[in-house]
Structure 1
Amino acid sequence: MQDFAIFWDWLSFAARWLHVITGIAWIGSSFYFIALDLGLRQRPGLPEGAHGEEWQVHGGGFYHIQKYLVAPAEMPEHLTWFKWESYWTWMSGFFLLAIVYYGGADLYLIDPNVLEMSAPVAIALSAGSLVIGWLFYDQLCKSPLGRNDTSLMLILYVILIIIAWGYTQIFSGRAAFLHLGAITATIMSANVFLVIIPNQKIVVADLIAGRKPDPKYGKIAKTRSLHNNYLTLPVIFLMLSNHYPLAYATEFNWVIASIVFMIGVLIRHYFNSMHARKGQPHWTWGLSAVLFIIIIWLSTVPEELTGEKKLSMTAERFASAQHFEAARDTVMGRCAMCHAAEPSWEGIYHAPKNVRFDSENEIAERAREIYLQAGVSHAMPPGNVSGITPEERALLVAWFEEGLSN
């Protein structure tokens, strides 16, 4: 069993690494082509059907690029398709979802304090929500509401807020954020696989057959590409959020996720405006900073905290705090079954992240992490498998604050 656990952990690492590599390739090409598209310039004498051109310099050479809104008069001999970056990002992401959240459903996907359910039911809800989310989005884009890009984006934002709240009512906070990112990434990748690339293939087939391509296919593809453009940055945040329990494991986590989408849109607007040579709206960064401060406040407002206090004391000060013995007993009773030199929890053979609570000194030295992971937020224990109570969490917070004031 221990060998299998080691293999499973390395399989997770390999899937995560592949996901990061393919994600960089996809997001990088997305940023490049959006910048290229917005930077195109028109001039007299462009070939028939050309919408604009761009001169670029990189790697010791110059590039002369022209874009045809529908298609060129003749099909070029060599045509490069940008699609596999998207496909492999989604496939590796789903593989990672299956390894971590389906394989460890009891720890990472299910939180009994949110909703009691079996692992098969949780997995079915997870996979089903991705499919249903795409189908609903696709039909909305094809409806009369999809004819206006601005109205459609506002409607989609409201729907994303509802989805964010819904996921937090079903899964653990960590899984809720991950699934909000997964459903967004599914929409983005399905846009490429089911809309953008098929439409481009129709245009190519018309050119080969000597027919004049219908411009509607390019317009539809451009709308979906615009959605992908604005969804890119929120997806990155959500995929990284599992490292930050103050984002996903607090009372207003769904509000935090909703604000993250707003910040992503603001930052993307800055880059889009700059690449389109329409100026640099620096106000977007200022507003994003204000929204981020609101996120920080939301992550601590349930405990009426003002944020993380400056640490300047030693572990001995936490060990001498009034509530240390009670906090020590709580940690050893609720956390040490995994965080120990010899974990007793089935399937855990090494202390996660090598964090151990075998001694009073180790607990005192980890006061800040305990405070963040199990006091202010509910990130630990995963899914509250050890049944830590709200009173015990409050005790950990009180202990930490005593250590700060000593």
Structure 2
Amino acid sequence: METLLYDWFNLLLRMLHAIAAIAWIGASFYFVWLDNNLEVPDSEGKVRGLAGGLWAFHGGGIYQVSKYKLAPAVMPERLHWFKWEAYTTWISGALLLTLVYYGRADLYLWQQGKWLTTPTVAIFVSILFLAAGLLCYELLFRLLRPHSRRLFNALLVMLIVLTCWLSSQLFSDRAAFLQVGALLATIMAGNVFFGIIPAQKGFIRALDNGEEPAAAPMLAAKHRSIHNNYFTLPVVFCMLSNHYPFLYGHPFNWLALLAIVALGAYVRHFFNLRHRGQLKLHIPAVAAIGCVLLALGLAQTQRNSTSQNDASEQILTDVSAGAPMHLVEAHCQGCHSSAPTQSGFSAPPLGLALDTVQQVQAARDRILPTLQSRYMPLGNITGMSDSERATLIAALETDNGTTLTED
């Protein structure tokens, strides 16, 4: 019963998180597009104090959108604010992180061979990682950006590089990418909470008092919004990355993460320029070439790493005789069975049951990447040895896994 309640709570939180994230990212995309597409107002619009405007056609009809340099002569009774999309996304994400990665830190967050000694320490360091990253960003933004944007951008890039590498050393392979995504999302939510909304409230407060609103806070709020816009695609990738063990389980996983974060921001830059009327087709071309080179580089380094490991491990088992199913039983079936015995699982993850030789052979292409990347078993909770891992990999690679035996 407890496992069933856990699964339902997990499902509902994921739905809430996904829906809120869609609303938040959609608003970010829309308002950056809107700002980049504003047209110079006509003489009448200038008299009204407009900074720009545009006409749009959507399913509901024709819309006219106007942006004021300051504010209309009479403030409307109802002014829409955009903040709860961000807050709901972050809160639901924090609850999911707590439920899945902190609640089962021994399986998902902590991994043997990393710097952290216990799952409890991993939870503490994860929270510290997020808080410290947000603090570093805020200090850079508040103290450095107003004086030197180039230096701020350079240090921000260095911060992201550091977090990608550090996360891969501290947390499990599966959690490393998500931890970086959670940090970027925390910075994004912090931009809304600490910068954008306070600036907007200060703007309205100044108008209510009959004062001229300060320009600097609103300009800073716009820059924060632009930063959030560039973070969106990298964050989306990080949140989906746990489906791709061939990436997060790669020996150079942090470099792969860094490359994809950079490519995601670069692609976002293409669309932002396109909204301003600047069609830079070389950007998607370079991004596509970058993806191909990344894929080829990861494949080659994976093969080299596997070859080196195989050569150094001196496997004593005769692979041609088959990898006995007792390895699958000992290290896989606790979770991947029609009736899992591992606590926290009421059904096999991803619907992948490995109760028979036929099921293992059919799932060969799904199993191999998780074994080669050392992602499975989760956190190596079963204590699979290097020779056992290599034996099972060799058996699955030989004749499409037909060397597996029940003995």
TM over 0.5: yes
Q: Which amino acid aligns with 2:388?
A: E
TM-score calculated relative to the size of structure 1: 0.90
Conservation of the 8 A alpha-carbon contact between 2:107 and 2:379: yes
CA distance in 2, matches of 1:290, 1:391: 38
CA distance in 2, matches of 1:145, 1:216: 12
Unaligned regions of 5+ residues in structure 1, if any? 307-320
Conservation of the 8 A alpha-carbon contact between 2:319 and 2:391: no
Q: Which amino acid aligns with 1:13?
A: L
CA distance in 2, matches of 1:56, 1:349: 50
Conservation of the 8 A alpha-carbon contact between 1:134 and 1:190: yes
CA distance in 2, matches of 1:200, 1:253: 40
**Which SS does the other structure have where 1:62 is aligned?**
strand
CA distance in 2, matches of 1:171, 1:298: 24
With over 3 angstroms needed to count, the CA separation of the structure-2 counterparts of 1:172 and 1:180, relative to structure 1, is same
Match of 1:384 in 2: 380
**Superposed displacement of residue 73, structure 1:** 4.3
Per-residue CA deviation, residues 15-41 of structure 1 (Å, 9 max, x unaligned), is 001000000000111111110000011
Alignment partner of 2:391 out of 389, 395, 406: 395
CA distance in 1, matches of 2:291, 2:98: 31
With over 3 angstroms needed to count, the CA separation of the structure-2 counterparts of 1:141 and 1:347, relative to structure 1, is closer
Per-residue CA deviation, residues 241-296 of structure 1 (Å, 9 max, x unaligned), is 011111211111110110111111221111111111122x2222222122222332
Match of 1:332 in 2: 329
Residue 112 (structure 2) pairs with residue 80 (structure 1): no
Q: Percent identity?
A: 37
1:25-174 counterparts in 2 under 5 A?
A: 25-45=23-43, 46-47=45-46, 49-174=49-174
**Superposed displacement of residue 116, structure 1:** 4.4
Q: Which amino acid aligns with 1:290?
A: I
**Superposed displacement of residue 69, structure 1:** 4.2
Residue 359 (structure 2) pairs with residue 362 (structure 1): yes
1:120-269 counterparts in 2 under 5 A?
A: 120-269=120-269
**Which SS does the other structure have where 2:224 is aligned?**
helix
Unaligned regions of 5+ residues in structure 2, if any? 306-317, 403-407
With over 3 angstroms needed to count, the CA separation of the structure-2 counterparts of 1:404 and 1:23, relative to structure 1, is same
Match of 2:7 in 1: 9
Q: Which amino acid aligns with 2:25?
A: I
**Superposed displacement of residue 397, structure 1:** 3.5
With over 3 angstroms needed to count, the CA separation of the structure-2 counterparts of 1:257 and 1:106, relative to structure 1, is same
**Superposed displacement of residue 400, structure 1:** 3.5
With over 3 angstroms needed to count, the CA separation of the structure-2 counterparts of 1:378 and 1:4, relative to structure 1, is same
CA distance in 2, matches of 1:398, 1:146: 57
With over 3 angstroms needed to count, the CA separation of the structure-2 counterparts of 1:361 and 1:293, relative to structure 1, is same
Residue 368 (structure 2) pairs with residue 371 (structure 1): yes
**Superposed displacement of residue 345, structure 1:** 2.6
With over 3 angstroms needed to count, the CA separation of the structure-2 counterparts of 1:298 and 1:340, relative to structure 1, is same
**Superposed displacement of residue 193, structure 1:** 1.0
The alignment yields a C-alpha RMSD, in angstroms, of 2.3
With over 3 angstroms needed to count, the CA separation of the structure-2 counterparts of 1:246 and 1:297, relative to structure 1, is same
**Which SS does the other structure have where 1:67 is aligned?**
strand
Conservation of the 8 A alpha-carbon contact between 2:364 and 2:401: no
TM-score calculated relative to the size of structure 2: 0.89
Q: How many corresponding residue pairs?
A: 389
Conservation of the 8 A alpha-carbon contact between 2:36 and 2:275: yes
CA distance in 2, matches of 1:347, 1:272: 44
**Superposed displacement of residue 360, structure 1:** 1.5
CA distance in 2, matches of 1:354, 1:58: 41
**Which SS does the other structure have where 1:63 is aligned?**
strand
Per-residue CA deviation, residues 181-235 of structure 1 (Å, 9 max, x unaligned), is 0000000011011110110100101111111111111111011111111101000
